[in-house]
Structure 1
Amino acid sequence: MMHTTTTMDSAVTAVDLVQSGLLELGDGCRIHPTAVFVPADMLGTLRPIVLGARVVLGAFTVVHGGTRVGDDTHIGHRAIVGEPEYGYAMRQVYQGAGDTTAIGSGVVVRAGAVVYAGARIGNDTTIGHNTLLRTNVTVGSGSQLAANLTAERGTRIGDGVRCSPGSHLTADTVIADRVFIGAGVRTVNDKQLIWRDPDQEQILDPPVFEYGCKIGSGAVLLAGVTVGVRALVGAGSVVTRDVPADAVVYGSPARQHGQVTR
């Protein structure tokens, strides 16, 4: 029997939720008996959960209120979708409020992934094992985010993007369409290295990745830099300044050593 939690300490069946209008199941859904639905956020606000046709929920998946899933999407074992943000982060204390979490059609959310409330994932995108998408992250269509990747709050990822395993995208990072991010890439959005200082305003200035650029594995991109259209950043580079369109840069600090040949 599937169960869901409507408060922090009471459980009802999925049938009860369907009857109350808090759970909508499309034709052909396959839901593991251990899946959990949580329509109430930490403030007690109820939001319906909508699953399209032929959606698959694996063992021990947790789906929070406000989640809307398109047709033919597969959510793997122990994945969490629609998790409300709670506690201190980014100059703000979150109270556990839910939000609309939209997952498109044909999406694969692999085992162990966590998708926070307010995130949006486009059609035919894959989210890798144990990957974390924080509050209000958006991912376009046809993108592939590999395993153990973290996209912090407000990150915007375009269509047809490939992110390799183990990379970290700092809050509000912008990644345009067709960008390639190698494994273990690190991004920085704070020029002053200020964290939780009540006397100073933290100004965030994340990197920007323009259309079709490619970032080699192990590269580090500092706050405020822009990598231009189709530019190539070599593996292990430390990028401290803007990279022009079509430039090839590498080194620490990264310097230009040629042009991309189209």
Structure 2
Amino acid sequence: MTVAANVFVHPNGLCESDEVGAGTRVWAFAHVLPGARVGRACNICDGAFVENEVVLGDNVTVKNNVLLYNGVTCENNVFLGPNAVFTNDLRPRAHRKLVGDALRPTLVREGATLGAGVVVVCGTTVGSNAFIGAGAVVTKDVPAHAFLVGNPARQKGWVCRCGAPLDESLRCAECGTGHRLVSAADGLEAVAG
């Protein structure tokens, strides 16, 4: 992928990557380093930082001051709230500079939302359509459609793809979508009807 002709970079933004998809916007004081792979129709807001080995799918929203370090992959339709931060080293030391495979990867699956100020500790996977509430600290894998809050983040329920909470029968009162539990680790999947 190469930078598409209709990528918008604010005059005070810095986009050094040549792998940016059509319709993506990079706003003032955001910095996308060379090597970062950014999909189509992404919105990278003021003050965001996207390091060299980050991968963003299509239609990813990166709100103000989000910090994405090497090893982070966000699939399509992920929302990262203001000041969300990702780590990539479980035992950082100034005298020890880890690179490449020595860093712990983090994966945010399709449609997940991370609220304002969320911290994601490296080596975790956030499941599809999961919703992490503002200020939470994610220290372990998150099942699909799980709703988590707190420090450390703890599951408080389930949410639909539309973002609404699910009732005890795992049905969404807002859009009517039903869900079934795949497993405690994998979370939910939507069901027809």
Q: Structure 2-normalised TM-score?
A: 0.78
Distance 1:210 1:119 in 2: 24
8 Å Cα contact 1:205-1:223 kept in structure 2 = yes
Q: Which amino acid aligns with 2:77?
A: R
2:45 maps to amino acid: A
Residue 77 of structure 2, aligned match among 174, 178, 185: 178
Could you tell me which amino acid in structure 2 is paired with residue 175 of structure 1?
A: C
Q: Deviations over 1:148-168 (max 9, x none)?
A: 100111100010111110110
* AA at the equivalent of 2:34: T
Q: Name which structure has the greater RCO, CA cutoff 8 Å, separation 6+.
A: 2
Q: C-alpha offsets along residues 44-67 of structure 1, whole Å, 9 cap, x if unaligned?
A: xxxxxxxxxxxxxxxxxxxxxxxx
Residue 108 of structure 2 corresponds to residue 209 of structure 1: yes
1:165 corresponding residue in structure 2: 64
Note if 1:111 corresponds to 2:25: no
Runs of 4+ in 1 over 6 A off after TM superposition: none
Once the two structures are superposed, residues 88-122 of structure 1 have per-residue CA deviations (whole angstroms, 9 ceiling, x without a partner) of: xxxxxxxxxxxxx9320321101211222x53110
Give the CA deviation at 1:230.
0.3
Contact kept, 8 Å, 1:195 with 1:202, in 2: the verdict is no
1:135 to 34, 57, 79: 34
1:242 alignment counterpart: 141
Map 1:61-100 to 2 at 5 A: none
Alignment of 1:190-205 (within 5 A): 190-197=89-96, 203-205=102-104
Q: Distance in 1 between the 2:52 and 2:14 partners? A: 13
Aligned equivalent of 2:183: none
1:207, distance to aligned residue in structure 2 (A): 1.7
What is the rounded CA distance, in whole Å, between the counterparts of 2:34 and 2:26 in structure 1? Answer: 15
2 CA distance for matches of 1:122 and 1:164? 18
* AA at the equivalent of 1:197: R
Q: Secondary structure at the match of 2:2?
A: strand
Normalization by structure 1: what TM-score?
Answer: 0.58
**Unpaired runs of 5+ in structure 2?**
162-193
User: Alpha carbon RMSD of aligned pairs, Å?
Assistant: 2.2
1:123 is the counterpart of 2:34: no
Distance change >3 Å, CA 202–CA 105, structure 1 → 2: closer
The superposition leaves residues 15-63 of structure 1 with CA deviations (integer Å, 9 ceiling, x where unpaired) of xxxxxxxxxxxxxxxxxxxxxxxxxxxxxxxxxxxxxxxxxxxxxxxxx
Q: Work out which of the two has the higher radius of gyration on C-alpha atoms and give 1 or 2.
A: 1
- State the number of aligned residues: 161
